[in-house]
Amino acid sequence: MANEQRCIDASTGMAGFGAQLRSLRRNKLGLTQRGFAERYNLGPRTIRDLEQGVTNPTPAMRLIVAAIDRDPGGMEEAAIMAAKPSVTV
């Protein structure tokens, strides 16, 4: 794991996380804030506030963003599945 290049470092402070999130969204994925939010079933206002340092990322949000950085396609599939209504048998 030491040789992997990572965009998101879950241990960074509030401002560092926002800058890393912006870099992931814009540079790696080429998405707008709205596009990123829609693709991963997140709130656009949440993404804006995190990038601007208005709010602190929760541990869950740090994990979600780190997972998106590591496997964008897999997390997109997970977001699609999570948005589907549950079917009980």
Distance separating alpha carbons of residues 86 and 34, to the nearest angstrom: 26
**Residue 42 neighbours by CB under 8 Å, 6+ apart:** 36, 64
Full-model pTM: 0.81
Fold adopted by 14-73: 434 Repressor (Amino-terminal Domain) (1.10.260)
Q: What is the pLDDT of residue 77?
A: 96
Which of the residue ranges 9-18, 23-32, 58-67, 77-86 would you say has the lowest mean pLDDT? Answer: 9-18
Q: Average pLDDT, stretch 35-43? A: 97
Domain locations along the chain: 14-73
Beta-carbon contacts of residue 73 (< 8 Å; ≥ 6 apart): none
Reply yes or no on whether the pLDDT at 59 is more than 60. yes
Question: DSSP of 37-69, one letter per residue?
Answer: HHHTT--HHHHHHHHTTSSPPPHHHHHHHHHHH
